[in-house]
Structure 1
Amino acid sequence: MMTPTIRLLASLLPAGLLAGCSMLTPQPAWKLAVAGDGPGELHRIDIRELVVANLPKSRYGNPAQYTVFGQEYTVLDSADGFKQQGVASWYGKKFHGRPTSSGEPYDMHQLTAAHKNLPLPTYVRVTRVDNGESVVVKVNDRGPFVGDRIIDLSYAAAARLGMIEQGKADVFIEALSSHEPVVDASAQPLVPAAPVDAVVTTEVTPSVEAALVGGSAEASRFLQVGAYSDELNAKAMLVSLREFLDVPASISVDDSGQLYRVRVGPLADQDRMRHARETLAQAGIDSYRVTD
């Protein structure tokens, strides 16, 4: 099992208290883990709403039980009907680019979150109790493991809820997704396609798309497996795809030039689409969406 990433907003802890206590007693592990955290850049936040989907459970981050700081936690088998009220905190730049408990790189400018018990990934709506502001996030990490906090929001999600300065807020959480069953590869053997090296590019032209799949580019679709504000994170995901993928993959950049999308395709027919989905599922990549 991957060791859960521990996060909490360092600025919530009075600096004087930390300094004074450190001279008297050793610092608790969770305080050391969050020291030096901070915000990201507002202009890099992806402002688009998430598309809720029922996805297979992540290969990582879903043990039946796990222990952190001597406390045992149980992972729910299903998020169906899950609701919870409590305090939300957020985590930022200290953990930016590091692997989450599900294995995905943490991008503080994306709408994600950490929860102690929900299966990964689960889409949830987080609503502030005091003003009704809400945001949909994808839970792909474990935490927070201190106090009364029930969810750790990414910097982007916290900014959307207007809780950056105060650092925490009372929220209500409601699960919006469940999970698809894991594909049984032995039940339906894969039909291998001709190997094609993954390509790093900004935008693939229609003529190139048609040549890659041997069909019409207008009918082609993509499986977007990630969207990153950091180009290095996008390239890291593409490199990992090269280890097992036998269909084209590329990085495209949106019109703003600030969002790097990792896409599998173009996929011109249902057979190629099904093959790509099954291959991703076998590799433990269960978070993606179909795009044009």
Structure 2
Amino acid sequence: MSSPSPEARLLVLALIALLLAGPAAATPGELRVCADPDNLPFSNARGEGFENRVAEVLARELGLALRYTWWAQRRGFVRQTLGTGTCDVLLGVPEGFERARLTRPYYASTYVFAWRRGDGPAVRSLDDPALRRVRVGVQLIGNDGTNTPPAHALARRGIVDNVRGYTVYGSSTTAEPPGRILTALAAGEIDVALVWGPLAGYFAPRQAVAIELAPVTPALDPPGLRFVFAIAAGVRKDDTALGERLDAALAARRAEIDAILDAYGVPRARAADVR
């Protein structure tokens, strides 16, 4: 399997960071998880995200107390958390991420098209001519305008002037910045949006109008731009023992984890389709 491109790794939950610092051993009796305190639907300090729920399941299965290290997912997130040894486990890591030892994936998801039901183009393909005529929203990582796979795919097709970018990070005072693109869609500021599936599945039902979702096709835009990503947990590269224990726990609690993902509306995909 080929590794995601640098642009692709930037986009999934912003878990692309600088080189890891020196390793540290896991604390006996604790599952120390690195997480963002304000990043729904993935995690928050109140334990309301689906990654919080998955962490709880894993801790119970391993017979460990769950403890968090909170750090906003910005550039340097991995270096400041896993890399400094203040925590031992990352959740929501895209398969192919090279700066951590990854478990087997516990789900795969896809970018989706989103539009207002009955009041917007039902776009399902990047090659739909409607994308040249309507206002299109895409997600960007950070305030520096780093592009995500949908932004690259549109640019390849010359679809630029009618595209509006929405940063995932926002500022520390912005309420639920990952959901702003869906709020803009519901308000009629854009006509169609390309959104990472777990974000769309969580925020779309919370809008004042009905939002339809459909997987982006093609799932692989040649010569290698992917829209489907398998997601795993990550530990330090030399922490083989913890990685193996997490693999066993993920397998043992597969049904429970699937139920959590269903409850949060996470669209699933087959990562094997784009390998």
Under a length normalisation based on structure 1, what TM-score does the superposition of the two structures give?
Answer: 0.28
- Larger Rg: 1 or 2? 1
Structure having the higher helix fraction is 2
Higher-RCO chain (CA-CA 8 Å, sequence separation at least 6): 2
Q: TM-score, normalised by structure 2?
A: 0.29
